[in-house]
Amino acid sequence: MRLPSRSLRTGLLLGAAFTAGVALGPASGVIGRHLGIEPAWAQDSSRADTYRLLTLFGDVFERVRAEYVEPVADRDLVENAINGMLTGLDPHSNYMNAKSFRDMQVQTRGEFGGLGIEVTQDNGFIKVISPIDDTPASRAGVKAGDLILALDGKTVQGLSLNDAVDRMRGPPNSRITLTIRRENADKPLELSMQREVIHIQVVRQRLDGGDIAYLRLTSFNEQTDSSLKRALEQLKQQSGNHLKAIVLDLRNNPGGLLDQAVAVSDDFVDHGEIVSTRARHTEDSQRWNAKGDEITDLPMVVLINGGSASASEIVAGALQDHHRAVLLGTRSFGKGSVQTVIPLPGNGAMRLTTARYYTPSGRSIQGLGIAPDVEVQASREDTPRFGPEREADLNHVLTNSGGTPQDQGAPPRSDLPAVAKDIPGKPPEGFPAFDPAKPDTDFQLQQALVLARAMASQKRAAAN
């Protein structure tokens, strides 16, 4: 994948969100000289305004150094200022110090220490995008949409996202208690869990009825595409090479690496565009096309929900626009932006939003999400919303622009099997409570299997 040339960059990310000190003398002059700003710029009103603002920053910096109630390290002040500058742009730009940058690199390789939870920040609290399967967080009952109010009894308000993540991480076998606010709960919940080394199993698979491949992707890291191919090959062998359809589960998958989203889409699409990105500078815009490396043409159903974000939405959008799969579930999260990781002096890095992405039909899903072709709720209860649950609910959210008109949506479907009209939108009365260990209690999955079998039958009939 060709990376944009305007600056040194290590990769494009689409995941949910998770600081080199200087000593200044007379602050305004030092800052101005470092940035190449001279008093002569006063002749240009725009540059003069910039200089005055940098002077203001220097004055505040010096006043805090001299008069804050306790001594503060210069590094902390500058790093906080940088992070504030970035987090004020949108929910996904932020600054990473050397430790945070190393942690991010380890995480994208698929192994890291902590609780196994994807988070972002909103209104001073930490919002759960998704717990990762079979981790301390998921076993303790953390759910997508939870707001973390406190860690070991200490409020997270006033903490940066990086600081909060650092506190959640720690030595394996050490314990931590999360205070959580959840929709439809009368009071905050206290969830205690034990930290451990998180080995992300990015693909989970099983065979349903001997001929339907169920594949769940939990994230998009460096191992996702290769793991998916291995899992599908194993299921083919297990079925005696008699697979009839695929159910790809992207629910609560918060995203990850753009190149992995492209690779997974390419596994199921044999031609045409997969995704395009449009940046501020035209030369940095890019487009990815299928390479003809499709590994199967079996009928597909893709499961999505409000926890399906970014890279998950790229895959879902590509398969939907190409009519390669039928999407079932609820509307996705709506993160249609691309973040570039730019290394900085001192071994830290900045994660900066540099582009919007667009599905093959030209849709921007930023703030909107992807609507499923067949809407099916996970439960009967219409619980009242508490706090943000979609990209559009976050602060400083990026606008939706540049795509096809929003009212056009995805290309209309005329190829759905007749059974799609009969699939109920909610579980019936008395349907058992969801238990992750019992697939028959997963109502959305059960409807996806019904649809997948109908699509397989439709394909066989068309071939005869």
* Options 122, 133, 321, 373, the catalytic residue: 321
Contact 253, 309 (CB under 8 A): yes
> 245 near 452, Cβ under 8 Å?
yes
- pLDDT computed for residue 408 by the predictor: 56
* Whole-number Cα distances in Å, 28 to 62, 77, 290, 456: 10, 16, 52, 69
What pLDDT does 59 receive? 96
pLDDT score of 331: 94
Q: Where are the domains of the chain?
A: 21-90, 111-199, 203-463
Pairing of strands 349-358, 273-279: antiparallel
For residue 3, what are the contacts with CB-CB under 8 A and spacing of at least 6?
9, 11, 12
Q: In the annotation, is 421 catalytic?
A: no
Q: What's the pTM?
A: 0.74
The H or E element containing residue 167 is helix 161-168
Q: For position 106, what pLDDT does the model report?
A: 72
* Token pair for 7: 């600056």
Residue 240, phi-psi category: left (phi > 0), alpha (psi -120 to 50), beta (remainder): left
Distance (Å, whole) CA 262 – CA 315: 7
- Please give the radius of gyration of the chain, using alpha carbons only, rounded to the nearest integer: 24
Q: Which residue has the tokens 């000190």?
A: 21
Annotated catalytic residue, options 310, 332, 337, 364: 310
Per the structure block, which two tokens stand in for 233? Answer: 């090959």
Residue pointed to by tokens 């090959």: 233
d(CA 213, CA 445): 12
The two three-digit tokens of residue 117, written as one number: 């939870």
Instruction: Report pLDDT for 14.
Output: 54
Question: CATH classification of 203-463, choosing from 3.90.226.10, 3.30.70.360, 3.30.428.10, 3.40.50.1980?
Answer: 3.90.226.10
Which of 335, 337, 373, 442 does the annotation list as catalytic? 335
Cβ neighbour number for residue 310 with a 10 Å cutoff:
32
CATH of 111-199, one of 1.10.357.10, 2.30.42.10, 3.40.50.300, 2.60.40.420: 2.30.42.10
Q: How does pLDDT run along the chain (464 residues), one tens digit per residue? A: 333 444 333 445 654 433 222 333 333 333 333 334 444 434 466 788 888 999 999 999 999 999 999 999 999 999 999 999 999 999 999 999 888 888 777 767 666 678 988 787 777 778 887 787 788 999 999 988 899 999 999 999 888 887 888 889 888 889 999 999 998 888 999 999 999 987 777 899 999 999 999 999 988 988 899 999 999 999 999 999 999 999 999 998 989 899 999 999 999 999 999 999 999 998 989 999 999 888 999 999 999 999 999 999 999 999 999 999 999 999 999 999 999 999 998 878 999 999 999 999 999 999 999 999 999 999 887 654 545 577 878 888 888 887 777 555 666 788 899 999 999 999 999 899 887 778 999 999 999 999 999 999 998 888 77
Rounded-to-integer distance, Cα 53 and Cα 459, Å: 65
Q: Which residues contact 186 (CB under 8 A, 6 or more apart)?
A: none
**End-to-end Cα distance, the chain:** 42
Token digits of residue 395: 């602060």
Residue ranges of alpha helices (H) inside 197-268 are 224-238, 258-266
Q: Give the closest residue to 206 by CA, choosing from 442, 454, 408.
A: 442
Known active-site residue 310: yes
321 given a catalytic annotation: yes
Structure tokens at 328: 């079932």
The residue ranges of DSSP E strands in 86-169, in sequence order, are 94-96, 111-114, 117-122, 125-131, 147-151, 154-155
